[in-house]
Structure 1
Amino acid sequence: MQALMRSLTLMATISSLAGYEGTLSVRQHPGEVTSTVGRTVMVACGAHYDGQTPDQVDIYWYKGEPSPQNALANLRESGSPLGGRLYLHGGHSKHYRILVISNLTLTDAGVYTCEVSVPLPPPLVSQHGSGTRLHVEESTSCLALKTPTVTKQVIIIPALSIYSTVLTIVVIVLAVLLRFHMKSKGTLITKEISRGPEEPQTNTCRGHTSSLAGDRSRETHPQEYEDMTVFRTMNQR
């Protein structure tokens, strides 16, 4: 019995020293993604084991080339009270982990690569994903806020220039018309002063009328006038 136990322990030790005998492959999805500022993106990292599932699996994330200085450390789990825009989703699954980047900024753009590591059973086996390239663009709301400012500058400045030009032309036209009006009025006053007041012709017309009436009466009754003249001369004798 004791010999059997020793045999089983020895076999287990040899098996543990042999390490993970399966084949490990890692896949990332998507290979490239484009989003806008303020949005949220997710990058999945899946592990495939050709053989038995290992006892322990660790998944790490890097921004840029997989190296210690580029490692995304202290990533919180989904639902964790810890703050941060980057967190992991998928629990401690041995088959996949999802990196979530929320409230995107322009500085989040880059290549994100995951690494699946199998420490047990030893020796250590690890494999990297193909990487996911993230493009971050300015959101349409930011562009909408910038567009009216540019439009106002493009429209208001020429409008003010046109308005000032039209106003200047109107002022010049009014000044010319006013000057012409004043000049015309001064000419009329000068003419009235130089002509002087007109003399009344009433009496002259009346005298002339009387004279004409006398002459006409003489012309009308010449014989009667002569008879009266003779009659007066006879009476004086």
Structure 2
Amino acid sequence: MNLFNLEGKTALITGGIHGLGMAMAEGLAKAGAELIITNNVQEPLDVAIEHYRKSGFTATGYVFDVTDEVEAEKQVAAMVANHGKIDILVNNAGIILRVLAIDMPVSDFRKVIDVDLVGPFIMSKLVAKGMIARQSGKIINICSMMSELGRDNVSAYASAKGGLKMLTRNLATEWAKHNIQINAIGPGYFATSQTAPIRVDGHPFNDFIISRTPAGRWGNPEDLAGTAVFLASEASNFVNGQVIYVDGGILATIGKPSNE
């Protein structure tokens, strides 16, 4: 089990203040990693850091916008100065705007691309410099089922997440020679505070997800922790450029099999 041990490692999780990002961060911390958490707003970051510390984890917060290359460079330099190194980067920060493509302003489309695709590029480039120097590192991008499938109202998000899948593969191609593994996680539909209003019995979308998912349920945030630890640890040293979908089997089937 030492393959999954993250003691002595420092993990940077962008946007790890709640939900799936927090669940993955907690999984890394339970495996022994020190946490660096970022957000673009101070107050929710402070709340998250207090939560991590009360849980017995070592966690530090930094406030900045991952799309601001100049500020991100300053903050990453501060992280390295304060923590010595960054062994693991989880590009989790992201946004979604649910607007029909015909109605979406181009400025909003660009905003989603900037946060969900350009942000991970900026952070990967900055953190990879130290990883290349040490000839070791793990980068985990958070993709989506929308990296593979289309859906109404999310053209910008799907475009960004599809691009993030290809960025994952291209960075893996470039940096594998430096013993850096760049992979991605594609979450399915999870039970979080954001999905609570549509997870009630009888809600059409709740019924759709349960019927569409072979596992017959929404994912629990903790279901992502094992995959995050795997991709952050030595257990995945020869896994590179892959997207692991944690979706209860949705992408494996055109529909939930019948019971007959």
Does TM, scored on the shorter chain, surpass 0.5?
Answer: no
Shorter-chain TM-score range: under 0.3
More strand by share: 1
TM value normalised by structure 2: 0.19
TM value normalised by structure 1: 0.21
